[in-house]
Amino acid sequence: MKISPDVSKRAQKLRLLVEYHHGLYHEKDAPEISDEAYDSLVRELFKLEQKFPELKVIGTPTERVGGTPLEHFEKVIHAVSQWSFDNVFNEEELIEWDAKIRRFLKKEQGNIPEFSFCAEHKIDGLKIILTYKNGKFVRGATRGDGVVGENITENLKTIDAIPLTLKKPIDIIVVGEAWLPKSQLKKINEERLKGEESPFANARNAAAGSLRQLDPKVVRKRNLSAFVYDIDFIDFKGQKSTIPKTQVDELELLKDLGFLVNPHFSHSLDVVGIKKSYDTWIKKREDVDYGMDGLAIKVNEISVQKILGYTAKSPRYAIAYKFPAEEVTTVVEDILFQVGRTGVITPVAKLRPVWVDGSTVSRATLHNEDEIRRLDIRVGDTVILKKAGDVIPDIVRVLTELRTGKEKVFSFPKKITECGGDGSIERIPGQAAYRCVAKDSSAQLERKLEYFVSRKAFDIDGLGKRLIKQLMEAGLVSSFADIFTLKKGDIVNLEGFGELSADNLIRAIDDSRSISLARFLTAASIPQVGEETAHDLARHFKTLDAIMSASEADLASIDGVGPIIASSVFGWFHGNAHTESLKKLLREVKIESAENVDIKDLPLSGKTFVITGSLSSMSRDEIKEKIKSLGGSVSSAVSSKTSFVVVGSEPGEKVRQAKKFGAQTLSEDEFLAKISS
């Protein structure tokens, strides 16, 4: 297959960029991008080399093990070559790896011997190789480039988890991982900041940086630990012992000799068992005091390991099953525009589809023009995309090193078709955002109607985006009130509807005719008024009539409102554009008055909650409503003001942020107990 100049240039630039970040990570312990983003670059280069073998050069970084040993340490030639694992990132790739080793065994043996798997935590630390003579620790080294490492014996002697004398006087070479407890990282970074040093980006870099200190006293102060997980060589020196036949046997022997072995390994008969263990530890990885970025999967039977052997850089019998990446690289294919319900225009990046944090992402908000300029995002750029848990995907960096000169500089247009009228747009005074000049475009109306019927507002079951569009195109709905005047005959002949589904929709609309004041204010799409402000207004004024009668000064005096929001609310209720439509709507719905309760007397008054993951007992909207009804507030981001982080199943980055900001985490049961007490 002929290689285009663009592909060839892309591979060359990728190779240089991977080399650069490889050196920062392995040799300087000072990475500029996350491990996940680095893996993503290596992965793209590997795929290009697989598709176009001619692109592969001698010494390609996709086949390199570790980094070059540092000059100020004595060099150590390893008695047994060291390797790094290949990675898989999802169940499909795991299944393919299993199939590949079975094909290899069939080819080599003519049959496939029975084998199973051992799954261990993949610790995010620094690989170490420990040598013992007659049971005495004589040398410790880093992996280095796999052939030559660095002699860090004196530093490793400061780690209490590494025994200086084994329980049996044998010769042995073992492999493990030195790691820094997460609880220690915060203390170390505080000390570095006081000394005007840059903080370590993560526990792995801190561990590596510590072990490369020239003064062992500094290393001892950092309280590192270490797990040992493999035996490279063993001579029992006449001692009564059995040579391990499996990886599980090896781990048990290592424990018996006095090494610290991670207790969370498991034995699986097949990939189904591996996946079960993987799913368990995705949820529990924050429960341990060390960083882990996946599971290390090994064929359990050592006899089968020997048949499988090694590739140029990795053992065939083992793989790293990585947890879903929260940062990946992808390409900005275009920049589109999204018109919101209040006419605000949001630029959106159309991305080359990429798997990140458990789902495929093809779009990411660019927020506003200023943010695009700050990051210097251009169409055609390779970017680092971040997504964690329920956080909206975000572009955090442009990899300008991969630019070819064909990228297109972005500039905000003067007109957007979706704005209606002549499509003109304008910058909002005092903000970095643009909005439609016309206030009545069909795109804005469609967004408003979608939000009006959503769970946060009137919560009309069965009435979603697709149906709103159908009703608008059929000329059946052009205002909020129109939704409540729909009859069965209006919708029974629409595509996808029949007698029963039409009856169900009309019933759902009728069931939604009564709404709280706060939810009504949220549903109305009043500029500047979100859920929190709506609750503030409802709590203060109690009734819709009181809000409509309030002056701008009355509105502005409420804590959390202020003059800008007050002007928007006053203008919305007193402008001709909404007066008539509001009258029509009030003929169809009942707005319940807010309870006459002082918020300061409510049990969650002054408490701010953040929710992460899924809760089984109630929906996220129900949780928010419950918290607000008890006087609390809900935020989308963890900060120093956060009181509690409610943790459901499959939580995201917010659990880590809770620890960072000192917020208390609550399980679902603990949260339910708190709101019930």
Please write the tens of the pLDDT for every residue from 245-257.
Answer: 999 999 999 999 9
pLDDT of 389 higher than 60: no
pLDDT band for 559, please (50, 70, 90 cuts): confident
**Model confidence pLDDT, tens digit, residues 285-331:** 888 889 888 999 999 999 999 999 998 778 999 999 998 877 889 99
CA distances from 264 to 175, 225, 231 (A): 17, 16, 18
Measured CA angle at 193 (ends 187, 198), to 5 deg: 105
**Model confidence pLDDT, tens digit, residues 196-254:** 777 776 777 778 878 877 778 878 888 899 999 999 999 998 888 889 999 999 999 99
225: left (phi over 0), alpha (psi -120 to 50) or beta: beta
Architecture per CATH, 5-64:
Orthogonal Bundle (1.10)
Please list the residues that pair with 647 across neighbouring strands: 612
One-letter amino acid for residue 63 of the chain:
E
Rounded CA separation 594/589 (Å): 16
Average pLDDT over residues 632-647: 85
pLDDT band for 677, please (50, 70, 90 cuts): low
Judge contact between 592 and 629, C-beta under 8 A: no
Catalytic residue list contains 122: yes
CB burial string 520-548: b at 16+ within 10 A, e below: bbbbbbbbebebbbbbbbbbbbbebebbe
SS3 percent helix, strand, coil of the chain, rounded to 5, is: 40, 20, 40
pLDDT of 69 higher than 60: no
pLDDT band for 97, please (50, 70, 90 cuts): very high
CATH code 3.40.50.10190 region(s) in the chain? 602-676
3-state DSSP assignment of residue 422: coil
pLDDT of 431 higher than 90: no
**Model confidence pLDDT, tens digit, residues 593-624:** 877 555 666 788 888 888 887 777 777 777 88
pLDDT band for 258, please (50, 70, 90 cuts): very high
Q: Single out the residue of 318, 112, 259, 124 nearest to residue 205, CA to CA.
A: 124
180 CB burial (10 A radius; 0-12, 13-18, 19+)? buried
Class of the CATH domain delimited by 442-592: mainly alpha
CATH code 1.10.287.610 region(s) in the chain? 5-64
- Mean pLDDT, the chain, rounded, equals 86
| Secondary structure string (H, E, C) spanning 274-322 | HHHHHHHHHHHHHHCCCCEEEEEEEECEHHHHHHHCECCCCECCEEEEE
CB burial string 476-499: b at 16+ within 10 A, e below: bbebbbbbbebeeebbbebeebee
426 φ, ψ to 5°?
Answer: -145, 155
Least confident stretch, 35-44, 470-479, 519-528, 653-662: 653-662
407 membership: H or E segment, kind and range:
none
Judge contact between 113 and 304, C-beta under 8 A: yes
pLDDT band for 68, please (50, 70, 90 cuts): low
485 φ, ψ to 5°?
Answer: -100, 0
Architecture per CATH, 77-322:
2-Layer Sandwich (3.30)
Rounded CA separation 310/120 (Å): 20
308 φ, ψ to 5°?
Answer: -70, -40
**Could you tell me where the DSSP H helices lie in 159-301?**
182-194, 203-211, 216-221, 247-257, 271-284
Rounded CA separation 199/180 (Å): 14
**Model confidence pLDDT, tens digit, residues 322-373:** 988 778 899 999 998 888 877 888 898 999 988 887 778 888 888 888 889 8
Rounded CA separation 48/9 (Å): 11
Instruction: Give the pair of three-digit tokens for residue 328.
Output: 């990946």
Instruction: Give the pair of three-digit tokens for residue 152.
Output: 């860090």
Q: Single out the residue of 69, 81, 21 nearest to residue 45, CA to CA.
A: 21
Q: Single out the residue of 359, 431, 350, 130 nearest to residue 258, CA to CA.
A: 130
pLDDT of residue 391: 61
User: pTM for the full model?
Assistant: 0.61
22 membership: H or E segment, kind and range:
helix 5-26
Please list the residues that pair with 635 across neighbouring strands: 610
Q: In what order do the strands lie in the sheet with 318-322?
A: 87-88, 318-322, 292-299, 117-123, 266-268
3-state DSSP assignment of residue 395: strand
Handedness of CA 527, 530, 532, 536 (dihedral sign): positive
pLDDT of residue 475: 84
249 φ, ψ to 5°?
Answer: -60, -40
Rounded CA separation 366/363 (Å): 9
Rounded CA separation 174/169 (Å): 15
Judge contact between 290 and 203, C-beta under 8 A: yes
pLDDT of residue 192: 72
Other beta carbons less than 10 A from residue 633's beta carbon:
20
Active-site entry in 56, 100, 106, 122: 122
476 φ, ψ to 5°?
Answer: -90, -25
Percent of the chain beyond pLDDT 70?
95
Architecture per CATH, 602-676:
3-Layer(aba) Sandwich (3.40)
pLDDT of residue 330: 94
CATH code 3.30.470.30 region(s) in the chain? 77-322
CATH code 1.10.150.20 region(s) in the chain? 442-592
CATH of 327-418, one of 2.40.70.10, 2.70.150.10, 3.40.50.620, 2.40.50.140: 2.40.50.140
pLDDT band for 67, please (50, 70, 90 cuts): low
CA distances from 512 to 110, 471, 529 (A): 68, 18, 22
pLDDT of residue 388: 61
